[in-house]
Amino acid sequence: RAKDEGGGVHCEYEPSLHATAEEKRQLEFSLRTALENDEMMLHFQPVVDAKTEEVVSFEALARWNSKVHGFVSPAKFIPIAEDTRLIVPIGTWVMNEACREAATNWPEHVKVNVNVSPEQLLEPDFAGTVVRALSHSGLSANRLEIEVTESIFMRDAGVVRKALEQCLALGCSVALDDFGTGYSSLGYLRKLEFTTIKVDRMFVQGAAQDSPESLAIIRAVVAMADSLGMTTTAEGVENQEEADLIRRLGCTKIQGYHFGRPMPAADARKIFSRGALKSA
C-alpha cells in the first residue's frame, strides 16, 4: 500500500511491515490452540503495603510458552488475543487459574489481581464468569481485584460499566491500571467507584529521575485518590530509592522488581512459608 501512495520514501518500510503482519498471522494461528496444548501459565508478582512492605496481593500475569515460537511476551500476544477475541477464553482461563491458586495456596489476607481486557467486559455475562471462578475455587469475592485500563472507556461505556458494577456489588475490587498513559480523563474517575488507581511506571521512573512533572503528577493522583476514597499502587519500583520516594509521596501499595519479579506459582508460595519477602 505504501507504494500506491507513490512516495519512494515509504517503500523502505514495507518489508518490515510485511514481516510483522506475517508474524502476527503465525502467532494468531498458534494462539488458537495454546490453551488446549497447555502452553499458557501464570506468573505472579507481589504487591506490597508501602508502609510495612508486607505482601498484600499478587498480580496474575499471563505467560505463553509456544511449542512453535518459544516464549512470547504478553506485549506481543495480548494485543493479538484482543484483536481476535481469543482473549475471551484465555481471560476466563486466567481468571479461573488465578482464583484457584489464591484460594488453595495463599493465606487468606492475600488478594489476587487479574487483568481484564475490554473484549471480556463486552461479553454478555462477564460477571457470571467471575461468579463461577469464585464459586469453583472457593475464593471470597473480597480477595479478587480486577484490573482494567482506561481503554475500556473507548468502548460501549454502558455495558462495561454495568459489568464492573456487578463485580463491585459481588464484593470484588476494581483497579484502574496504567493510570496516566492512555487517554486520561479525570471524568473517567467519576464513572465508576474504582477501588485503586495504579500509577504507571513511567511516572515512578520520572519522579526518581527528578522530573518535577512526574513528581507533581504522582502527588496530584495520590491527593485525588485520597479524596475520592481510592487507594494508590505505584508500578515499576525497581530500587530502594524509588521505594522510599514513593512511600514519601503517600502511595498505599508498591509493585515492582525491587520487591519481586513476576514468578511461577510455586515460587510465590515459598514467600509465605519463608515469612518476610525481603529475606527471600
Judged by the rule CB under 5 A, the positions of this chain that interact with Mg ion are 115, 147, 177-178, 200, 235
Query: Helical H runs in the chain?
Result: 8-11, 14-31, 74-84, 87-105, 118-121, 126-137, 157-170, 188-191, 201-208, 212-228, 240-249, 265-274
The Cα 265–Cα 19 span in angstroms is 35
Which of the stretches 15-23, 100-108, 112-120, 155-163 binds ligand C2E when contact is defined by CB under 6 A?
112-120
Give the distance, in angstroms, between the CA of residue 62 and the centroid of all CA atoms in the same chain. 10
Binding to ligand C2E in span 46-105, by CB under 6 A: 61-62, 73-75, 78, 87, 91, 94
Residue nearer to ligand C2E on the CB measure, 78 or 176: 78
The Cα 34–Cα 65 span in angstroms is 9
By a kind-dependent CB cut-off of 5 to 8 A, residue 53 interacts, out of ligand C2E, Mg ion, none, with: none
By a kind-dependent CB cut-off of 5 to 8 A, residue 94 interacts, out of Mg ion, ligand C2E, none, with: ligand C2E
DSSP, res 239? S
Cβ neighbours of residue 217 closer than 8 Å, sequence gap 6 or more: 180, 203
By a kind-dependent CB cut-off of 5 to 8 A, residue 61 interacts, out of Mg ion, ligand C2E, none, with: ligand C2E
Q: Specify the residue for cell string 475464593.
A: 139
By a kind-dependent CB cut-off of 5 to 8 A, residue 91 interacts, out of Mg ion, ligand C2E, none, with: ligand C2E
In angstroms, give the least distance from the CB of 262 to Mg ion: 11
By a kind-dependent CB cut-off of 5 to 8 A, residue 78 interacts, out of Mg ion, ligand C2E, none, with: ligand C2E
Give the distance, in angstroms, between the CA of residue 141 and the centroid of all CA atoms in the same chain. 18
By a kind-dependent CB cut-off of 5 to 8 A, residue 74 interacts, out of ligand C2E, Mg ion, none, with: ligand C2E
Out of 72, 100, 178, 203, the only residue in the binding site for ligand C2E (CB under 6 A) is: 178
262 is a site residue for ligand C2E (CB under 6 A): yes
Binding to ligand C2E in span 134-163, by CB under 6 A: 147
The Cα 11–Cα 15 span in angstroms is 8
Residue nearer to Mg ion on the CB measure, 30 or 114: 114
- 139, three cell numbers: 475464593
Binding to ligand C2E in span 14-43, by CB under 6 A: none
Residue nearer to ligand C2E on the CB measure, 60 or 189: 60
What is the CB neighbour count within 10 angstroms for residue 225?
A: 23
Task: List the end-to-end C-alpha distance of the chain, in Å, as a whole number.
Answer: 54
Give the distance, in angstroms, between the CA of residue 245 and the centroid of all CA atoms in the same chain. 23
The Cα 147–Cα 115 span in angstroms is 5
By a kind-dependent CB cut-off of 5 to 8 A, residue 176 interacts, out of Mg ion, ligand C2E, none, with: none
- The region that residue 85 occupies, defined by phi over 0 for left and psi between -120 and 50 for alpha, beta otherwise, is left
Nearest residue to the partner ligand C2E, using Cβ: 256
Residue nearer to Mg ion on the CB measure, 30 or 236: 236
Which residues form the interface with ligand C2E (CB under 6 A)? 45, 61-62, 73-75, 78, 87, 91, 94, 115-117, 147, 177-178, 201, 236-238, 255-257, 262
